[in-house]
Structure 1
Amino acid sequence: MIFWAIFGYLLGSVPFGLVITRALGLGDLRQIGSGNIGATNVLRTGNKGAALATLLLDSGKGAIAVLLARHFGGETAAEMAGAAAFLGHCFPIWLRFKGGKGVATFLGTLIALCWPVGLIACATWAVTAAVTRISSLSALLAAALAPAFAWGLGRPDIAAAAAFMAVLIVIRHHANIRRLLAGTEPRIGRK
């Protein structure tokens, strides 16, 4: 279990948004927009391809951690590796523990742990984003409802993992929550 936790954490710690924007000459992502290293902030650079690549890689690192751990270590190892990958994204060792908010890694981890729960959470994010055009609100709603989705589908183990990650997502979005309450949270696609 310790191996899978370390593996998941190190994989999750890879800051793909920062790597992609630097490779494309878009500057230091931490100095753009919100300063976050995730796909929503990459989108603020105006490069949709870079944002999509960041989204896929950030979600993929959670999924890969889960799938490899499940294959070699079983279901408990998969849950451990997924949670650790999520923590790695939020608190990456390579960036002095100042990482992203974890939404894409959360969704990728959920899809790999229990694909129906993950897909419902993704659909919740997508519908909320389409209606409100506010990424943080979409993330908060998807994260908050994911444990209930898992519980409703008879997966209390996944509900517990989702609840752990959801709490951290809410904490990581504290500034967004203040802006949502003030009506000043930026819309998706705004540079």
Structure 2
Amino acid sequence: MTVKNAFTQEDCIETGYAMYIAGKVVVLKPSSLPPERRDGAHQLYFCEGGNGSNPNPIDRSIFTVSLADGERARWNRGDVLGILKPELLPDSARLHLSQIRPRGVLDPREHEPRYSGYSFLPDGRYASGVWLCSEKEVKDYIEMQKEYQHRVMICDRDGFCVFEMVRGEVIYPLPETIEAFRKEQARGGMSMNL
């Protein structure tokens, strides 16, 4: 998918202040951007959080990552037009999104990464994997990516696939395996490396 000249309210699944925007791709109002950056590519940001990301926020600050260049920026909630419809996210922005580590992750220079997260476009293209140091980081990465990416894969340190999702549906491990694991965990039994 190519980038539009500018995204509008019609391109959003929700607008206004009643929505929770953390963990979503948001569209900034063109009027909030410098004149040279008022195109569709520069309107798209991944919202990592901030008090302004809550519904009907009291505070205004939101913390974001640009899906045009990967730069982190603070914006005010009033700068947000709405949450972009996932199907309208351009491929270049999907690749930038795939490179964002979840907020609050451990520093891989101080903690040994145990997993790598990958997200793929429908044609198979992907950017390099991101290091994930814990099962929580894996779950957060999957949650960030699942509604925007065609395919999400998690590999262990040895390069073996331990999780795979295509179009939001888990294909590995099989749902029956996950359910059996949950039942065994509830009885205090076996452990799994994810």
TM-score by length of 1: 0.31
Give the TM-score normalised by the residue count of structure 2. Answer: 0.31
- Could you say which structure has the higher helix fraction? 1
Bigger proportion of residues as strand: 2
The structure whose Rg is larger is 2
